[in-house]
Chains A and B, each alone.
Chain A
Amino acid sequence: MTTLQELAMAVSSGNRKAAKALTIQALDEGVSPGDLVDLSLVPAMAAVGERFKNNEIFVPEMLIAARAMKESMTVLEPRLLAAGITPKYTAVIGTVEGDLHDIGKNLVSVMWKGANVQVIDLGTNVSSAKFVEAIREHKPQVVGLSALLTTTMPALGETVRVIRASDAPPVKIMIGGAPINQHYADEIGADGYAPDAGTAVDKILTLLGAI
């Protein structure tokens, strides 16, 4: 097994210590942080999702896997950040109200930081009012909204509406999450959609270039 495979195993089985050690080991072996995410962490969570779907695991062990994933990301994040450059742009990101999933949003956040964007992370279960407040305070160029549940997709649409209708400074809105697609983004009038963290970087750079 390669280190990346071992790491994926550690994450999906929720072995926090091994996840951390293997992340360090993989980076030391010269694996790029992007590859580590794409070839190990994301597939690991996909496997967790598959097992949950098939009723092989339930919420408690899913929580354990999520925690192991976060452990790996704490090692990863500093390595991704471009050193010594002051970010020119700011983004606000959060998971919408009623939704507690944050792994995908965190990945996007880390990748954006890696692309030299300052990211203000509002966490999970964020109301539309809180988004508006944060936009007023930080005056970002882009705000990212994440939703992982079909039942919180309406909250995503609602947040877009509230932001647009507010007196906060104008901002580009990007959305994402497992049930979201381009079609839905168009429907609710978001400016951008990305299916994964890598594409989210390309997309934010395009949007920023358009400003």
Chain B
Amino acid sequence: MLGEADFANLALEYRRRTGFPLAAIDTAGKWIGRKTRSSVHEAAKQGERAQALSEALRWGEPSVVCDIQGHVLWAVPVMRNQDVLGGLLVLGGELRRPLVAGSLDLRIGTACRELLQLAIDHNLTNATLLAQQRALARREREKAEALHSLKDGLLDDIRSIYLMEEPALLAAIRRGEKAEARKVINRVLTAIYMLGQSRTELLKSLSLELVVIMARAAVQAGGEPENILGLNYRSLTELAKINDHEALAAWLCEMLEQLIDAIGANTKNPNSVQLVRALQYMEEHFSKDVSREEVARAAGLSSSHFSRLIRLKTGWSFTECLARVRVEHACQSLVHTQASLAEVALACGFGDQSYFSRVFRKQMGETPGDYRKRRLMESVSASAQKSQKKVQES
């Protein structure tokens, strides 16, 4: 599938990107293009290489394996359609404790991802199949984690399972993050099935409860109430007919999809609720140090999504937006109170006065002091006019 020169280029590219040498193996773990003497030792090594290859195929990505001598290796399958022709293998050297925690994970993790990317870029592997395997592995992992918490007795009954998962589910629905919501639903389902076993009626009533909670969250997130309520009624009649687990699972997932779509369907003003909530939060907390993450969380958005949204809707970045809120309040204080500039700066979350002046000036075109004077003059002359008018009228 790959000529010698092509492989040399590939190895060069990988070395340049990650610093690790690349080699080729067949499906049995034998080196391709490398001479080896056969020995018991070599046979064992070959088995380990084949294992790295089969692990990668199994999990849909290079998976780090450790050999008997404490050396690590990882691989990516070389495939044509469904057939595995061999693999690209990396010997990562001896496993050593990193000086900085996390640095080893970072180095090897990056090298694994690069290997997968390289194989995909050069069309050497079945990217679709690997992606499917990764999705499967992810699902299994979620299942495993649900099983673990059940065993730990963290969750003693079905109700407590979803009481525990509920916040995560609602947050995901509010953010319109289908994948995340699906993940939580999956976890809840695994746990529920483990405990519910043959109690379909119980499962049904719990599922219904779950859907009602989800619908409420969807309305809060700005979905059209009519749509969502109609959906609820339909779902009720459907649910009555269900009498096995599989159908129930399918029904729940279907409900979830529809609910999330219903939120998205409110295109007149998508995400307006979240944005209002974000602004409200800024209004309430502008005097303190507020971070973007904090505001995003309060609005039920991921911080990157929030950044995009705020820019889209207001034309400002988060920092600019917060500065506007602060300057607005500063204006109020300057006009309506006797507070000193330093006090106003502090009360509006500006840290120090010179920073306050700079931001204020940029936005208002004059310094806070000038602004106060001007507004004072204006109000003096306005009230002067008013009283003059009154005099004239009388």
* Chain A residues within CB distance 8 Å of chain B: 13-16, 53, 57-61, 63-64, 67, 98, 100, 125, 149-151, 178-179, 181, 183, 195
Contact A63 B147 (CB under 8 A): no
Closest to A98 in B: B58
Known: A57-B105, A60-B108, A149-B140. A67 touches B145 (CB 8 A): no
Return the CB mask of B86-126 against A: 1 if under 8 Å, else 0. Answer: 00000000010110011011001100000000000000000
Identify which of residues 139-187 in chain B touch chain A, using a CB-to-CB cut-off of 8 Å: 140, 143-145, 147-148, 150-151
In whole angstroms, what is the CA distance A100 to B54 when docked? 13
Contact B97 A14 (CB under 8 A): yes
Q: Of A16, A64, A150, which one neighbours B104 at CB under 8 angstroms?
A: A64
Contact A53 B145 (CB under 8 A): yes
- Closest CB pairs A-B (n = 8): A58-B105, A59-B64, A60-B108, A179-B147, A150-B144, A150-B140, A60-B104, A14-B97
Q: Which residues of B contact A98 (CB under 8 A)?
A: 58
Identify which of residues 179-233 in chain B touch chain A, using a CB-to-CB cut-off of 8 Å: 194
Q: Which residues of A contact B249 (CB under 8 A)?
A: none
Q: List 13 A-B contacts (CB under 8 A).
A: A15-B97, A59-B63, A61-B98, A61-B105, A63-B66, A63-B95, A64-B97, A64-B104, A149-B140, A151-B58, A178-B147, A179-B143, A181-B151
* Chain B residues within CB distance 8 Å of chain A: 51, 58, 63-66, 70, 72, 95, 97-98, 101-102, 104-105, 108-109, 137, 140, 143-145, 147-148, 150-151, 194
In whole angstroms, what is the CA distance A51 to B145 when docked? 13
Q: Which residues of B contact A58 (CB under 8 A)?
A: 105, 108-109
Listed residue (A58, A60, A178, A183) with the most chain B CB atoms within 10 angstroms of its CB: A60
In whole angstroms, what is the CA distance A110 to B63 when docked? 29
Contact A178 B148 (CB under 8 A): yes
Q: Of B70, B104, B145, B150, which one neighbours A61 at CB under 8 angstroms?
A: B104
Contact B147 A61 (CB under 8 A): no
Q: Is the interface of A mostly helix, strand, loop or mixed?
A: loop
Contact B140 A64 (CB under 8 A): no
Q: Which residues of B contact A183 (CB under 8 A)?
A: 194
Q: Which residues of A contact B51 (CB under 8 A)?
A: 125
Closest to A68 in B: B97
Known: A150-B140, A150-B143, A151-B140. A63 touches B148 (CB 8 A): no
In whole angstroms, what is the CA distance A151 to B133 when docked? 12
In whole angstroms, what is the CA distance A16 to B65 when docked? 19
Q: Which residues of A contact B140 (CB under 8 A)?
A: 149-151
Closest to B62 in A: A59
Contact A61 B101 (CB under 8 A): yes
Q: Which residues of B contact A179 (CB under 8 A)?
A: 143-144, 147-148
User: Nearest Cβ in chain A — how far from B104, in angstroms?
Assistant: 5
Q: Which residues of A contact B105 (CB under 8 A)?
A: 57-61
Q: Which residues of A contact B70 (CB under 8 A)?
A: 67
User: Nearest Cβ in chain B — how far from A56, in angstroms?
Assistant: 8
Known: A15-B97, A16-B97. A60 touches B64 (CB 8 A): yes
Q: Which residues of B contact A14 (CB under 8 A)?
A: 97
Q: Which residues of B contact A13 (CB under 8 A)?
A: 97, 101
Q: Which residues of A contact B148 (CB under 8 A)?
A: 178-179
